[in-house]
Amino acid sequence: MDRTAIGWINGFLGVVIFSGSLPATRLAVHDFDPLFLTMARATIAAILAGLMLMLFRQRWPEKSDIVPLIVTAFGVVIGFPLLTALALQHVTAAHSIVFVGLLPLATAIFAVLRGGERPKPAFWLFSILGSALVVGFALAQGITAAPLGDALMLGAIIVCGLGYAEGAKLSRRLGGWQVISWALVISLPVMAVLLVAFWPQSWNGIGAPAWAGLAYVSVFSMLVGFIFWYRGLALGGIAAVGQLQLLQPFFGLAIAALLLGEYVSPAMIAVTLGIVACVAGAKRFA
């Protein structure tokens, strides 16, 4: 099997794992403060990542790797988890998941700016079409109904795209799981201090679903998913494999409906199918 095929397989597995992130976050923020949740998930994942680095005796990053690792941490360890957790106080998981359809375009833009990739013009047509479907859906649903939540989701998409591209570029040298592990470890001192600062005054009333949500986003969303995702981006191409994120709303909507009992409208399904259709065209011309 060639590198590209391996990259697409790893990327697909990463997307499947990430698809549960927003529904799990939605469960967690029912009982946990969003700021505490952000610090807790990063701290737990960082401890696990540090143990993995020590167990496999990984070499320390070079000095030139520190800034890219900080950018990666800012995008995927701090920025995206925090902004989505805040957004989910204002919008449903099903609504927020549709915004994830913008991630492929954001990732592709940063793949050009930071990764040096040059997709064909037709690639941008399909990426922009998929993004237009997402924006059109948000407008049709009445974006003024929760402007803060939608603004936070858009911010989350931008910083996440940057973190994806920066981390994938670095993965070509360090390896996928090593990049996310070092990014988590670098952020640990700050996140651990903030974790104490936002420590809940009482643990009473925190239900099992919230604990399950915290466990999922800490282990799978924050660490395991990135092991597959960064390897996929590094092997298959950031812009190309990044289009697999167009599938994430489809899986995420299904999870939100099954676990949270949220209503998935025909419009959501139609938009998601349209977005999925765009991935084939984008892949062809990446």
Q: What is the pLDDT of residues 201-215, one digit of tens each?
A: 999 989 999 999 999
Low-confidence ranges of the chain (pLDDT < 70): 94, 138-139, 141-145, 286
Provide the residue range defining the domain that includes 162. Answer: 3-285
pLDDT at 145: 58
pLDDT at 227: 94
User: Cα separation of 104 and 242, whole Å?
Assistant: 5
Phi, psi of 205 (to 5 degrees): 85, 0
User: Cα separation of 40 and 33, whole Å?
Assistant: 10
**Domain tally for the chain?**
1
Phi, psi of 175 (to 5 degrees): 100, 150
pLDDT at 144: 52
pLDDT at 71: 96
End-to-end alpha-carbon separation of the chain, Å?
A: 20
Cβ-contact 187, 78 below 8 angstroms:
yes
pLDDT at 280: 75
Cβ-contact 174, 226 below 8 angstroms:
no
**Burial call 211-241: b when 16+ CB within 10 Å, e when fewer:** eebbebbbbbbbbbbbbbbbbbbbbbbbbbb
pLDDT at 111: 93
